[in-house]
Structure 1
Amino acid sequence: MALLQASLIWIVYAAVIVILLAVASVFIYVYQTPRDRSPSVTLTCIVAITSLLATVLLLPVDVALVSSTTSSKLGQRKEWASQDVVDHITYSLTIVYYILYSLDALLCLLVIPFTYFWYEEYDEVASESGEQTLGQRFWGAFKYTFSFIAIVVILFLVGFFVPVSKNKNGLDLDYFKKLLTENHGERALTFALGLLMTIGLCLYVLYSSSGLALFPISLIKTAPSVSNPTLRASTAQQLEVNRERQRQLEGRCGGNPELLSSKDRRELDTLSREERTLIRRQRLVEESQGEARSWLMRLWFKIEAIFRPFKLLGGILLLLIAFVVWVSMLLTAIDKAKNSICKHRCGYILGHVNVFNPVNWTLVQSAKIFPVDYAIFTVLVLLLFCGSIVGIATVGIRFLWIRIFQIRKGHTSPQALLLATVILMLIILALNYSISMVVAPQYATFGPQTFCDRESWSPFGQPDCSNSKELIKPCSELANNPAAQRVCTPSVVSTFLNRITLNYPFFGAVFFWAQFCFLGVYLIVFLTALLRSPKLDERQLDEDAEEAEEEGLLANTGRRLTANWQDITGSSGRNERSSS
């Protein structure tokens, strides 16, 4: 029975990995520019994003496996769950986590930089003429990647030798004693991931908070727009009217603008500038429809058009979920600030959840029926992941206030895609901490595990916990009596994350205060987006044309049912009025 249950849990995880691979593939395929695709860049980005999401979504598997060893109704371990079996489960999970975390670090620090320089080193003319070989290209990319190798070596050496914090006054509980790291190799990995999570939290505060606020509102407050076929017909009509008016003015002066009045010359100049804008708009529309010749892109556009009427309902639902997540984070952050065992000295570790947390409660209750909690947890992770993408697309990749790259559907260059992938990887690492320690701390640590508090029972007899529900208590870090120690098994990921904050309290303090920054930025962006009117698609199109004349158009249409039908059928419709 135990083997069957464990197999089912891992099968569900494998199915989720397949879904994650599809999500990452669609994201990369939709956002990258069709005219400049690179197989190495595409494959690297898909593998990197899938690996990070797989790391985060291993948490429900972790919780389910350690919780399967106990009976939540009796508060006791099951007959087959001996200490050796439990140790084998946690050891197997630890190996999987270390493999995934190491893979994530290598992808972020080595593989993606190498792929970036590998792409930059490609010279099409030299390659076709035979002047550039694969060896030369590899060496050119490796030279630049060597600096990142040095950073990785230094990072792990610092983590290997840096002393951990030993001042743990008040932490005499066995749970916390086990978190103190003595193994130098484990200490190096812990330090490296703590540093990467710290960097990721800065990006998490900037991109994920703003994206989580903007994502639902962008679905609710869709800008009024027209479909691609209608926009093409409207632009052609405007261009014809513009040129006819120019011919009339040129006919007055016989081809010499100096003979026109100052008013007519200004009008002719305005018409000339407008003609160039309309020509660019027309070319962008045609290019966007040419780029949609791929069956996958055509399918994406059709699905997007069909489900457009449900955007409002979906936006309201996501807004409610995002608000509940925000409230849950706020409640846990306040709980940590008020009830943490030793505050900043141990990275604000919370020994017991003292404040009701709606997301945490929902996951704990649903964890009793696997895989219901897995489905809820996956939706939560994908919501925050999509919010991060929206945030990156809105803010762009910047150095201080200078925008380096812009991330947009169908317009993202390979270099920008690789940098966006690195940002997403660091954000997902931070997301791993935020969900586990702030959004749902009880679920991420012990899940639905309970224990029978025998020490509070009379010594004259053994309690029957099945008939004494008041004796059954949820497991927590502060449960230090022998009954809890025999039954409660913390998840591997909570042990690893708490080990980072306990051994390096500086990281824990940064992690803790970053959550308040996240909550503040979310609130500011949400209120701003709520009061701001959306832009018209045609205005946005003209701005895109001025910024990059050769870029394509992937128009996002609005609420109009006619536009939806035109995008599905590909017809431009009749009796459409041109917009000035």
Structure 2
Amino acid sequence: MALIQTSLIWVTYAVAVALLLVTAAIFVFVYQTPRDRAASVTTVSIITTTALLATVLLLPVDVALVSSTSLSSQGRKKDWATPDRVNSILYTLKIVYYTLYSLDAVLCLLVIPFTYFWYEEYDDDAAEHGEQTFGQRLWGAFKYTIAFILFVVIIFLVGFFVPFAKQAKHDNRLDLDYFKRLLEENHGERALSFALGLLSVIGTLLYVVYTGAGMALLPVALIKSAPSISAPALAANTASQLEQNRERQRQLEGRNQGRQGGLDSRDRRELEALIREERTLIRRERLAAESTGEGHVLVKVWNKIEAVFRPLKLLGGFLLNIFALIIFASMLITGIDKAKNSICKSHCGYILGHINIFQPINWVLVKSAKVFPIDYVLFLLLVLFFFCSSIVGVATVGIRFLWVTLFKIRKGHTSPQALLMATVLLTLVVLAINYSVAMVVAPQYATFGPQTYCDLAPRHAGEQPDCSQHHAAIKKCTELAENPVARDVCTPSVFSTFTNRITINFPFFGVILFWAQFAFMAVYLVVFVTTLFKTPTLDQDQIDRDLEEEEEEGLLASTGRRLGATWQDITGRAKRNNDYGTTGTAGGRS
């Protein structure tokens, strides 16, 4: 029975990873530009995105496996859950965690930089004339990656030799066995803990900006943004206007034939205005073609799917808005609880012994964890919401250095360099999401799940106490449980142990990670309040850089809704509408 249950948990995880692979592939193909697609960039981006999401979604597997060793209804270990069996489960989980974390670090710090320079080193002219060999390109990419290799080596050396946190080591408040075990680790684990702690801190700074803004923008954008005219209708109307424009130019040029003085001043001004309008219409025609996914089958399918579900956007936006507010409330409750009731505050990174205030998301996950895989599905939705919010944040803010925009992330227009940079940012952000979800959004669930222990003395030495007739004596497992029975029954998840080990051994990381959660909530609140009174401009990311923002905002960023536009987006056909408007460079009305 135990083997079947364990196998079912791992099979569920394998299915989830397969779905994540498909999700990562869709994300990469939808956002990358079809003109400059590179196989190396596409492959690395898909593998990295899948690996980082697989790392986050290992947590509910971790919780399910350690929880499967106990009978929560009776507060005791199952008969088959001997110490050796439990240690075997924990050892397997450690191997998977270390493998995934090491893979994430290598992909983020070595493979992606090398792929970036590998793509940059390619020279079309030199390759056509045989002047650039494979070895030259390989060395060109490798020499620029040496700096990243040195950075990785330095990180692990510092983590290998850095001493334990003396304050935490000599803090009498940490005499409990749970905290003593966190301080007992070898140099290799310490090096990996330091490296991941450093990367998580860097990722948290990005998480505050991108995910905080994206979590507010994503639901509001679904509610408030919808095109007033479909992409097929835009293409048809633009073609009609362009045809009329060129016909009028031919008439004016024909009128000019045979005249010695050429066109008069009025006709000349009209011709100049028509030429300017023609350039605008040509740009708009290209925009319409790109918006319908012309030349990119996946973008075209994606647009049709969006059009089919457009009527549900309003409802989905409201539901996501409520969900985001519940997450905000849960994070705020845990943050206040940690700040007030942490047993050693900043000395151990604000580790919370047990939850003192009711927290909705944590309560739902703990209750659902009693019936696997309900909690896994809920956790998957939670993680995907954070991940999609991060994508929206990156697409809205762009990849910046201070106030300078380096790259823009646009659907069907993202260059290979921008895609790799976005993948690095998302990798770092997901490390921060990992900490936030496990330590702030659902701390009790991420540490012990639904595990309980029987707070009674055993009848005989070596036996487990019997709570079958004393249900009031069944208590939730916490880090502060001092009952000897709790030490034998309660098994913390591998991830919570690993994360708490980072914060207790390197309190500086824990302090930054904790207080950054309040900065995240502040960014979310500011953007959320702002978007309530201002229409989000997410659609501008799809506008061609050459288009003038003023003339396109009225056309594409309108919040009016038309069922006809939705139907035309689904069918991909539209009638030309001569009433659409042809005056001026604004090109129409919304």
Alignment CA distance shift 1:374-1:257 (3 Å): farther
- Cross-structure match for 1:571: 573
- Distance, in Å, in 2 between the alignment partners of 1:472 and 1:288 is 59
SS of 1:451's equivalent? strand
Matched, 1:451 2:456: no
- Do the aligned residues in 1 keep the contact of 2:233 with 2:575 (CA within 8 Å)? yes
- Do the aligned residues in 2 keep the contact of 1:229 with 1:571 (CA within 8 Å)? yes
- Cross-structure match for 1:65: 65
- Distance, in Å, in 1 between the alignment partners of 2:53 and 2:222 is 24
- Do the aligned residues in 2 keep the contact of 1:537 with 1:557 (CA within 8 Å)? no
Alignment CA distance shift 1:544-1:211 (3 Å): farther
SS of 1:37's equivalent? coil
- Do the aligned residues in 1 keep the contact of 2:76 with 2:464 (CA within 8 Å)? no
Matched, 1:428 2:430: yes
- Distance, in Å, in 1 between the alignment partners of 2:102 and 2:452 is 33
- Cross-structure match for 2:238: 235
- Cross-structure match for 1:189: 192
Residue 30 of structure 2 aligns to which amino acid in structure 1? Answer: V
- Distance, in Å, in 1 between the alignment partners of 2:538 and 2:198 is 42
Alignment CA distance shift 1:243-1:134 (3 Å): same
SS of 1:454's equivalent? coil
SS of 1:473's equivalent? strand
SS of 2:405's equivalent? strand
What does residue range 212-231 of structure 1 map to in structure 2 within 5 Å? 212-231=215-234
The CA deviation at 1:283 is: 2.9
Residue 428 of structure 1 aligns to which amino acid in structure 2? Answer: V
Residue 284 of structure 2 aligns to which amino acid in structure 1? Answer: R
TM-score (norm 1): 0.93
- Distance, in Å, in 2 between the alignment partners of 1:525 and 1:46 is 30
- Distance, in Å, in 1 between the alignment partners of 2:364 and 2:332 is 16
SS of 1:403's equivalent? strand
- Distance, in Å, in 2 between the alignment partners of 1:46 and 1:208 is 20
1:245-304 Cα distance to aligned partner (Å, 9 max, x none)? 65677788859688426xx76665444322211121113333555x53454333222222
The answer for unaligned runs of 5 or more in structure 2 is 550-555, 582-587
The CA deviation at 1:544 is: 5.1
* 1:412 maps to which of 411, 414, 430: 414
Alignment CA distance shift 1:242-1:536 (3 Å): farther
The CA deviation at 1:434 is: 0.4
- Cross-structure match for 1:55: 55
- Distance, in Å, in 2 between the alignment partners of 1:539 and 1:235 is 20
The CA deviation at 1:129 is: 2.1
- Cross-structure match for 2:78: 78
- Distance, in Å, in 2 between the alignment partners of 1:414 and 1:543 is 17
Alignment CA distance shift 1:257-1:75 (3 Å): farther
Residue 483 of structure 1 aligns to which amino acid in structure 2? Answer: V
Alignment CA distance shift 1:344-1:539 (3 Å): closer
- Cross-structure match for 2:584: none
- Cross-structure match for 1:533: 535
Residue 195 of structure 1 aligns to which amino acid in structure 2? Answer: L
1:425-472 Cα distance to aligned partner (Å, 9 max, x none)? 000000000000000000000000000011599x9x996411211100
SS of 2:547's equivalent? helix
What does residue range 87-166 of structure 1 map to in structure 2 within 5 Å? 87-166=87-166
Residue 425 of structure 1 aligns to which amino acid in structure 2? Answer: T
Alignment CA distance shift 1:489-1:338 (3 Å): same
- Cross-structure match for 2:16: 16
The CA deviation at 1:559 is: 3.3
Matched, 1:272 2:299: no
Alignment CA distance shift 1:538-1:90 (3 Å): closer
- Cross-structure match for 2:519: 517
Residue 265 of structure 2 aligns to which amino acid in structure 1? Answer: L
Alignment CA distance shift 1:534-1:488 (3 Å): closer
- Cross-structure match for 1:384: 386
- Distance, in Å, in 1 between the alignment partners of 2:546 and 2:210 is 22
The CA deviation at 1:575 is: 4.5
- Do the aligned residues in 2 keep the contact of 1:9 with 1:65 (CA within 8 Å)? yes
Alignment CA distance shift 1:462-1:163 (3 Å): closer
394-403 or 532-541, which moves further after superposition?
A: 532-541
The CA deviation at 1:227 is: 1.6
What does residue range 417-496 of structure 1 map to in structure 2 within 5 Å? 417-454=419-456, 464-496=466-498
1:72-114 Cα distance to aligned partner (Å, 9 max, x none)? 0000000010111111111110111011110100000000000
- Do the aligned residues in 2 keep the contact of 1:112 with 1:418 (CA within 8 Å)? yes
The CA deviation at 1:313 is: 1.2
- Distance, in Å, in 2 between the alignment partners of 1:255 and 1:339 is 91
- Do the aligned residues in 2 keep the contact of 1:453 with 1:473 (CA within 8 Å)? yes
1:158-177 Cα distance to aligned partner (Å, 9 max, x none)? 11111120212111111001
Alignment CA distance shift 1:121-1:319 (3 Å): same
Matched, 1:260 2:262: no
The CA deviation at 1:309 is: 1.2
Alignment CA distance shift 1:294-1:268 (3 Å): closer
529-538 or 66-75, which moves further after superposition?
A: 529-538
- Distance, in Å, in 2 between the alignment partners of 1:125 and 1:243 is 38
SS of 1:398's equivalent? strand
- Distance, in Å, in 2 between the alignment partners of 1:382 and 1:569 is 30
Alignment CA distance shift 1:233-1:537 (3 Å): farther
Alignment CA distance shift 1:311-1:287 (3 Å): closer
Alignment CA distance shift 1:14-1:281 (3 Å): same
- Distance, in Å, in 2 between the alignment partners of 1:255 and 1:312 is 62
TM-score (norm 2): 0.91
Residue 381 of structure 1 aligns to which amino acid in structure 2? Answer: V
- Do the aligned residues in 1 keep the contact of 2:227 with 2:557 (CA within 8 Å)? no
1:550-577 Cα distance to aligned partner (Å, 9 max, x none)? xxxx999973211122122221125563
- Do the aligned residues in 2 keep the contact of 1:455 with 1:481 (CA within 8 Å)? no
- Distance, in Å, in 2 between the alignment partners of 1:146 and 1:439 is 38
The answer for unaligned runs of 5 or more in structure 1 is 548-553
- Do the aligned residues in 1 keep the contact of 2:74 with 2:467 (CA within 8 Å)? yes
SS of 2:35's equivalent? helix
- Do the aligned residues in 1 keep the contact of 2:438 with 2:446 (CA within 8 Å)? yes
- Distance, in Å, in 2 between the alignment partners of 1:471 and 1:531 is 52
- Do the aligned residues in 1 keep the contact of 2:220 with 2:532 (CA within 8 Å)? yes
- Cross-structure match for 2:205: 202
- Do the aligned residues in 2 keep the contact of 1:220 with 1:312 (CA within 8 Å)? yes
SS of 1:545's equivalent? coil
- Cross-structure match for 1:402: 404
Q: RMSD over aligned Cα, in angstroms?
A: 2.7
- Distance, in Å, in 2 between the alignment partners of 1:281 and 1:87 is 63
- Distance, in Å, in 2 between the alignment partners of 1:56 and 1:468 is 38
SS of 2:453's equivalent? strand
